[in-house]
Chain A
Amino acid sequence: MSLQLVRIDDRLIHGQVVAVWLRTLSAKRIVIADDATARDEFLREVLTLAAPHGVPVEVLEVVEAAVRLIELAGVPEPVMVLVRSPRTVLRLRRAGVPIAVVDLGGLGAGPGRKRLHKTISLSPAELEELRELERLGTRVEIQIVADDRPIPLRDLDQGN
């Protein structure tokens, strides 16, 4: 199991990810699964170049990412997976990607989203998608930076 971290973060690669998470996990590769980003040539290039030297970044559409991640899950090289929304994780999970834990790392406030914990806000639909993931056997945790203790979603989700 080398998908070290599957993280939902609407900023994808940023300071916490580069400065703290990558070091802590010693991840050797980043896979970003996001349809819109994968179709934007400019963003793809910026994300590829924004990661530290020697850490390759693959920016893929979700369908391609599922195939790639199933392949990567079988090799020992530690991989960090970044996505923007719970829906993407659900799609990956349903496509057969073995995801034991998903980490809510950053979901900014916006229309329809309600703040759950610190920098994590969720819409009712997103919350439902996360519950579905839990039913499929994927643990959902909130851990904004590597030094935080992970909080299981269940502790914050009072079912409303």
Chain B
Amino acid sequence: MLQHIRPAIVMIIAMTVITGLAYPLAMTAVAQLVFPYQANGSLIRVKGKVIGSVLIGQEFTSPRYFHPRPSATTEPDPKDPTKTISVPYAADNSSGSNLGPTSKALVSGVQAEAAKLARENPATAIPVDLVTNSGSGLDPDITPAGALFQVPRIAKARGLPDETVRRLVLAHIDPRFLGILGEPHVNVLELNLALDAVNP
């Protein structure tokens, strides 16, 4: 037994130096040099100011913007730090709802979201992504169906023809990788920036 003590201690120290310091720090240096935009969180600037990350969803409630999916993230309650309050798209505390399929809370939440959405576009069935929480609580995307569903509301709020907004959505669909991997999706922040560019 005793003969293993020195190798065990020296080995874990050597591995810490190689895999715990040299490896991540070298990767950081290379990443900062070769892919500085991605390595720093794919941050988007508008007029020089950082307004978010293209990869991290953010909350939109104004009728003039496309809305993201419901988000289950929380933050500590400022009044009572032992409790938490709902803060959608809190990007320092990612979380799903973790509600199971037979949960009353899940079904009543979906019902409430669906009722709200049905008022703005009663003619169309509601795409499921618009009423369900994403896994991360930070999903930057909605489905193309979820974006098209919101077109009438936005067109009305901005006084634009439906067709203009619809074209904008279709132009912002990210297709599957190589036509095979993943699902077509629309980045909400990019779409809203494009919307502001057309109709400030």
Co-complex (A, B): no
Give me the interface of A with B, judged by CB distance under 8 Å.
Answer: none
Give me the interface of B with A, judged by CB distance under 8 Å.
Answer: none
